[in-house]
Structure 1
Amino acid sequence: MASVFKKLPDSERNIEASLYFGNLDPQCSEVLMYELFVQFGPVKNLIMPKDRIHKTHQGYGFVEFKNARDAKYTEDILRGVRLYGKLLKLKELDFKQPAQQQRSVGTFINTKSDLLNEKFVDVGAKVFVNNLNPLIDEKFLLQTFSKFGTVIRQPTIKRDPEGKSMGFGFVTFADFETSDKVIEKLNSTILMNSKISLDYAFKEDGSKGGKRLRHGDQAERILAESAKRNNVSKSKKMYKVFKKAKT
């Protein structure tokens, strides 16, 4: 279903009136979430980033109200509420963060893409991070791993139905040079009192001889390097190349 909301110019965005919502069941549609939030105040915008291939939402989204008072009221009233048995997570956005990060958050609120930086497309440099401290959240992962290079997607942490971290997550980088460096530097290091392990994530739809394939293989690297030489690594054309190669 197409979004009923249009992309807004930066000047019309109000981070103070916006909330992150997460831990959503697959049955939670954009319409359902809109109908829930509009009971507490006029909704200016709402977006639930979707997987580019499967067109399904990724378990979280952002809602912008007409004013900050309604956002705060909604967060207070819906604390502890469950949707389809899963605890709804709500969090205010940090409007005091640097302007560059605010623009990234704005991208989530007002577009259908889950890309933090729309100049880049996903080449497959997706890293699996295991044995995470329960106190580590997605924001912490972004702050930690973005120091090594460009993180193109919002990091994700696998959570149980209660919304608690299951101890592992995923971070996607713009290129394999960065992801290789991260795995080399941070594998078996201590992060918030826990020894983490890193490797390339398994491909969602890739297997060979009954064995699951990981990202970062030769095929992905060849395609990424070829696109880079042809100066299309920052073009959406590259997504078509990878989609064709994976089918």
Structure 2
Amino acid sequence: MNASGPGYPLASLYVGDLHPDVAEALLYEKFSPAGPIMSIRVCRDIVTRRSLGYAYINFQQPADAERALDTMNFEVIKGRPIRIMWSQRDPALRKSGVGNVFIKNLDDSIDNKALYDTFSAFGNILSCKVVCDEHGSRGYGFVHFETQEAATRAIQTMNGMLLNDRKVYVGQFKSRKERESEYGAKAMEFTNVYIKNFGEDMDDERLREIFSQFGRTLSVKVMIDEKGRSKGFGFVNFENHEDAQKAVAEMNGKEINGRVVYAGRAQKRIERQCELKRKFDQLKQERFSRYQGVNLYVKNLDDGIDDEKLRKEFSPYGTITSAKVMTEGGHSKGFGFVCFSSPEEATKAVTEMNGRIVSTKPLYVALAQRKEERKAILTNQYMQRLASIRAIPAPPLLGSYQQPSGYFMPAVPQPPSRAAFYSSSPVAPIRPTPRWTSHPPPARPPSKLLFSYCRKQNLTIKHQ
């Protein structure tokens, strides 16, 4: 493998799947036998400073980096096999999909090294990974080859082959957007129909009898519980898409056993979740757009304020469509919302009510914002405040002088600690150096005030 090829011009390695306790010193100890190292950086979370599980190692010579890659890949450090590949700073190569192969239906015993050893016969591998979770392998992985020709050879040779007695699928990697686009086109030609809400009085044979009038069925299944009773939903798989489409059109909304049933295209769980999320986000956006500029957020509410009192306090400023104090366990959470019929009324309420004391507490009133908007505003304010603090130079101290790089402050002598005078060590304690090492300072002459005091007390002053 040549480290001077496109995509990895420097002698820089990516080291992944690291144990959280692996730091730069340990990596230096492991990798320095391969050759002189310029720098090592373990990537960490900017807030918690915890390791993100990967690092970058920069060698002085590409040959040393290549030696480390060939000899140390998948070596176990702190109980985890590490994964090494050339550092690809340009994300376009990773995201393009060129030379990237997707493998699924892998046996649980197939790990990164086994996958690497299996596919390395087809060409140089840039990266290789079996996707895992806390329970182990998830049964699929990726191999990124240096060239598309090597990826094509791997697909043609390995697709449908047995790996540890399991037939694997090997194909060209496709991005999520491409998969969703293809799946959406295929979904329109469905053959599997999902039926629900037909109650407990239903079995496979009766469901087959009801739906067989629309065409030839390949399988019919009523889902049952542990006691063998119908769960109220099932599936009918037709041979042709047209028959399935006809069944949906005829049976959706029809009564069976006195119940209005639903019939529609069967969806995968992830597809249903994505569709529900899209609908929820759309409804939330529509609701927020409808109340944009008229919904107020009110906080610092007294515990005794309920919905009616909140409405009464804001009613002088316009027509209120809703007023709600947020509660938890029957107790106020200290904030709520007031919605007006027009933006002008809401603006007037903000101007008049913000800071006004209601039941011993000053209210905070502002236009309601989405959580994402509030988070973005707070983050921006924090970053601006942090930047302004960093921009303010430290004030010059007495006895300091300014250099081009900043301020220089001389060391301030500290008083010796008590341990310097009272030590339990057999060594003689270190005593502070006296300020006058040769002769004591000359005695100061007595002041006139002292003479006057001594005369009154019949005292005599003697000079030493």
TM over 0.5: no
Task: Report the structure number with the largest CA radius of gyration.
Answer: 2
Q: With the length of structure 2 as denominator, give the TM-score of the two structures.
A: 0.24
